[in-house]
């Protein structure tokens, strides 16, 4: 079959299968193994670091790292997070200094999570123009305008029940939540956020946020959608860090079933159709297959979230002397990138940036 024919078929499949597909030819190249040993000796190009460096397929660059920051209204000083050694909650007063350290390492962006002093049933702190995240955005943009500021758009840190949307009769209400998320988004962007990242997993939220942004003149603000976000045990340490564990039930009625790969592609396709500029797979390590399938199918930038539990496992093994932290961390990040991520949200960002600068 001719290449052009194959490309057409592939694009056709994408269009039928997914609301909006790229028409790029993504046909995988066949590994070149004809002839075999002894003509082919793959060790030839592994003999020394000069050769290995030359044929290396994947490289890490701190510009692709997104570093999560927890900003709390309830503390006056840095407060270390027990289950995430090396990570802390920060008061707004310390956030500019921290942003300067992050920017100095060449890290591309931060993603902000807020812990408000008061929570209520509807999470109204989320769209308070003087809320903790809004203050942090202003402080960071003042101190380091070159550092990209992404905000996590969700209600779970702001609701008294800890769910990601409005709850009625024990159920998270989808359509009514969209309006609250839109308010939160506009408040973040008005404070200076560069990118908004909805993590709530309501249906239709990308379209709702895009529409709200455009209507207010923010048609240049990108949306990074947590598209394939799975209901994962690996978010455990984050919920301590963000004080956002649900008070009843769990998130399985809105986040995805870990067993579903095809459904993840549908989530991604819908988010692209609704206007997402960047899509995300989360967590990263148990879902590298999903990441690779999304990469195969679409050309837009893809983010992977190397989540709190993945970080905690590695740190715990390293603290016990069971693993070489530096090598294991860089191997983890390169694996995520090799699988298809353009951007990696990771708590290892600052360490990794330092190690890469030394190499």
Q: Which is nearer to ligand PBG, 199 or 227 (CB)?
A: 199
Crossing angle of helices 349-358 and 325-339, rounded to 10°:
100
* C-alpha to C-alpha distance for 343 and 65, rounded to whole angstroms: 6
Task: By CB under 6 A, tell whether 254 contacts ligand PBG.
Answer: no
Task: By CB under 6 A, tell whether 312 contacts ligand PBG.
Answer: no
* Residue 282 bears catalytic tag: yes
Q: Which is nearer to ligand PBG, 230 or 355 (CB)?
A: 230
* Residue where the block lists tokens 């549908």: 266
| Contact (Cβ atoms closer than 8 angstroms) between residue 231 and residue 255 | yes
Q: Which is nearer to ligand PBG, 21 or 193 (CB)?
A: 193
Q: Which is nearer to ligand PBG, 18 or 244 (CB)?
A: 244
Which backbone phi and psi does 145 adopt, to 5 degrees? -60, -25
Find the catalytic residue in 119, 229, 315, 337: 229
Cβ atoms < 10 Å from Cβ of 24: 13
* C-alpha to C-alpha distance for 175 and 179, rounded to whole angstroms: 7
Of the candidates 295, 298, 257, 301, the residue with the CA atom closest to the CA atom of residue 279: 301
* C-alpha to C-alpha distance for 49 and 99, rounded to whole angstroms: 35
Minimum gap (Å) between residue 231 Cβ and ligand PBG: 8
Find the catalytic residue in 141, 282, 315, 337: 282
Question: What is the DSSP code (8-state) at residue 159?
Answer: B
Task: By CB under 6 A, tell whether 287 contacts ligand PBG.
Answer: no
Sign of CA dihedral 291, 172, 69, 222: positive
Residue 219: C-alpha distances to residues 129, 204, 212, 213, 296 (Å): 20, 18, 9, 6, 28
Minimum gap (Å) between residue 197 Cβ and ligand PBG: 8
Task: By CB under 6 A, tell whether 285 contacts ligand PBG.
Answer: no
Nearest-5° angle of CA 142, CA 143, CA 145? 70
- Choices 49-57, 73-81, 87-95, 235-243; region in contact with ligand PBG by CB under 6 A: 235-243
Minimum gap (Å) between residue 152 Cβ and ligand PBG: 5
* Residue 315 bears catalytic tag: no
**Residues of this chain, 100-159, that bind ligand PBG according to CB under 6 A:** 152, 154, 156
| Strand-strand pairing, 79-80 and 88-90 | antiparallel
The site map against ligand PBG for 196-215 (x = CB under 6 A) is ---x----------------
Task: By CB under 6 A, tell whether 238 contacts ligand PBG.
Answer: yes
Task: By CB under 6 A, tell whether 308 contacts ligand PBG.
Answer: yes
Minimum gap (Å) between residue 99 Cβ and ligand PBG: 19
Minimum gap (Å) between residue 60 Cβ and ligand PBG: 19
Q: Which is nearer to ligand PBG, 236 or 301 (CB)?
A: 236
Q: CA torsion angle for 163, 251, 300, 5 (degrees, to 10)?
A: -150
Task: By CB under 6 A, tell whether 302 contacts ligand PBG.
Answer: no
Residues of this chain that bind ligand PBG (CB under 6 A):
152, 154, 156, 164, 199, 235, 238-239, 251, 307-308
Residues taking part in catalysis: 229, 282
């Amino acid at each position: 079959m001719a290449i052009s024919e194959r490309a057409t078929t592939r694009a056709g499949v994408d269009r039928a299968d997914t609301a909006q597909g790229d028409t790029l030819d993504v046909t995988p190249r066949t590994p070149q193994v004809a002839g075999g040993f002894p003509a082919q000796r793959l060790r030839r190009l592994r003999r020394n670091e000069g050769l290995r460096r030359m044929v290396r397929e994947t490289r890490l660059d701190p510009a692709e790292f997104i570093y999560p920051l927890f900003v709390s209204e309830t503390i006056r000083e840095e407060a270390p997070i027990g289950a995430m050694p090396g990570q802390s909650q920060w008061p707004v007063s310390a956030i500019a200094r921290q942003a300067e350290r992050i920017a100095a390492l060449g890290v591309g962006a931060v993603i902000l999570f807020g812990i408000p002093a008061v929570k209520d049933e509807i999470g109204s702190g989320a769209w308070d123009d003087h809320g903790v995240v809004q203050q942090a955005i202003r402080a960071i943009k003042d101190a380091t305008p070159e550092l990209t500021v992404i905000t996590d758009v969700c209600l779970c840190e702001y609701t008294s029940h800890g769910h990601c949307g409005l709850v009625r009769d024990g159920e998270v209400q989808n359509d009514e939540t969209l309006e609250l998320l839109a308010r939160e988004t506009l408040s973040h962007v008005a404070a200076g956020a560069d990118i908004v990242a909805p993590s709530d997993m309501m249906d239709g939220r990308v379209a709702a946020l895009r529409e709200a942004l455009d209507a207010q003149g923010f048609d240049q603000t990108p949306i990074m959608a947590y598209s394939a976000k799975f209901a994962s045990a690996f978010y455990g340490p984050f919920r301590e860090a963000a004080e956002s564990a649900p008070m009843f039930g769990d998130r399985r009625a809105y986040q995805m079933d870990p067993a579903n790969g095809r459904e993840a592609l549908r989530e991604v396709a819908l988010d692209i159709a609704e206007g997402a500029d960047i899509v995300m797979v989360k967590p990263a390590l148990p879902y590298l297959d999903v990441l690779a399938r999304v990469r195969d199918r679409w050309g837009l930038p893809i983010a992977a979230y190397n989540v709190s539990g993945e970080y905690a496992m590695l740190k715990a093994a390293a603290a016990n002397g069971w693993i070489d932290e530096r090598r294991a961390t860089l191997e983890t990040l390169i694996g995520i990138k090799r699988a298809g991520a353009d951007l990696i949200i990771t708590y290892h960002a600052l360490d990794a940036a330092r190690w890469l600068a030394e190499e």
